[in-house]
Amino acid sequence: MSEERLEEVAALLEDETARRILTETYREPMSANTLSERCGASKPTVYRRLEDLRRCDLLEERTRPDPDGGHHHTMYATNLERILVEIDDDGIEFRIDRRENMSDRFTRLIEEM
């Protein structure tokens, strides 16, 4: 991971709202409105953090159809599994492990056959 990218992720994780969004969306996908309520933050703040998290590839945007109204809802889910920091004689190594969604896992399995 580049030093610049690491600094961007570290700065984002310093933000309490960003951390709450990651925690809440780890359990289940949520809408921005629900996240605003759960995080105790304004909708504009939540939308900014959602965009920041997406830019750092720590969050995915999903579309969920509304069976009653025929519309769809945008939901957000974290793909972050863990962030590792390892120190050894060669220096410090940072690694972000992401969850693999079901469709990506299926595609990978097919490609490996």
pLDDT digits (tens, 9 = 90+) for 34-65: 999 999 999 999 999 999 999 999 999 988 77
In the chain, where the domains are located: 3-80
Cα–chain-centroid distance for residue 72?
20
| 3-state DSSP helix/strand/coil % of the chain, to nearest 5 | 50, 30, 25
| Class of the domain covering 3-80 | mainly alpha
pLDDT digits (tens, 9 = 90+) for 55-102: 999 999 988 777 776 677 899 999 988 888 888 898 888 888 887 765
